[in-house]
Amino acid sequence: MDQTLQVIRGTLYGQAIGDAFGMPGELWSRAKIQDYFGEINDFLDGPESNEVAKNFTKGQFTDDTATALVILDSLIATDFQPKQADIAEKLIQWGEVNQAFEKEIFGPSTKAALLGMRAGKCREELGVITNQAITNGSAMRISPIGLLFTPDEATALIDYVTEITATTHSSDVAIAGAVVVAGAVSYFTQGRDWADMLEFVYHLHDLALSKGAETYQASIKERIKLGINLAHRFQNADQLFLQAVYDLLGTTTLITESVPAALAIAYYAQDVTHCAKLCANLGGDTDTIGCMACAICGAYQGFDQIDSAWVELIDEANAVNLENYAQAIYTRFKEEGKLYE
């Protein structure tokens, strides 16, 4: 398997694994996860007492990965030319089929934007909704988009991510956070290491902020820097590190918390298995932080380094074929002469 396909498959399965592994305790506090599970060390069914996770069983990924694939469906259908109307239509269709509106499966910003579109609101009315979106829906489903670009295509990546993200999230932090996640994945498409990846995503972050509507939120970049410092400070001390991330970075659905948490944990773990376990036991938006962090680790490690039993479970538990998506992305990458040998 060539390096490019390793990265593509690693990213897709990393995203799905982090999502499914983090699902059982999603939106529970760190203390509640510890009281209920002790420690999550394997894929589990969503507990009936968890209002969101109860909709999923062992190995199933949530709306994070499902809507990432919906976006890929739209891009494949439009020859990878992003069209917001088509993305929105497909997201609404997925939401209706899966009762995502009724079961509170969609996040608040995505739900508000899609309901507005379904109700026929005009562009100006929708802008009021999307410009205020500061939650992490933009970033949780963006990692596969990083696979379409090399690190030398920073401007094109930012513009592409902005176009897709603005369907539901058009604030400065929502776009910048999504660009950071996609950029981290993109960085590894050419076989590069962690050494310069952080400086790359910091640069992308600063460029991307101007693409969205201004908000008064904390800096994603500065919080990532804090998270990297925590990773060094608590090296090989998992629980101390997780508690510091939980206390200092935050792990809510705010994009200014969850993206820095995901980058910090990915940097600390640099391995899908370790990363998934850390994120699942973190507390807060565990499935979303898990899918972003594990997608980055999967891009870095490559598919062959991911536990094959975990890959088999993802394939068995979800009614999609991730290989089809991998091949579509690979074909696009190859056609554009970007393969890394």
Known binding residues for Mg(2+) are 62-64, 285, 287-288
Q: How many CB atoms lie within 10 A of CB 77?
A: 12
DSSP state of 23: S
C-alpha distance from residue 88 to each of 45, 80, 115 (Å): 30, 15, 10
Collapse the DSSP code of 28 into the 3-class scheme (helix H, G, I; strand E, B; otherwise coil) and give the result: strand
Alpha-carbon distance of 133 to 273, in angstroms, equals: 31
Alpha-carbon distance of 79 to 100, in angstroms, equals: 27
To the nearest 10 degrees (0 to 180), the angle between helices 220-233 and 172-187 is: 50
Amino acid at 10: G
Cβ atoms of 285 and 173 closer than 8 Å = no
C-alpha distance from residue 124 to each of 109, 114, 115, 116, 338 (Å): 16, 14, 15, 11, 39
Alpha-carbon distance of 276 to 22, in angstroms, equals: 7
Annotated binding-site residues read 62-64, 285, 287-288
Question: Which residue has tokens 């506090």?
Answer: 29
To the nearest 10 degrees (0 to 180), the angle between helices 255-269 and 272-280 is: 140
In sequence order, which residues have a C-beta less than 8 Å from that of residue 319 and are 6 or more positions away? none
Alpha-carbon distance of 148 to 323, in angstroms, equals: 16
To the nearest 10 degrees (0 to 180), the angle between helices 108-118 and 84-97 is: 100
C-alpha distance from residue 100 to each of 34, 106, 204, 321 (Å): 28, 6, 32, 21
Cβ atoms of 45 and 58 closer than 8 Å = yes
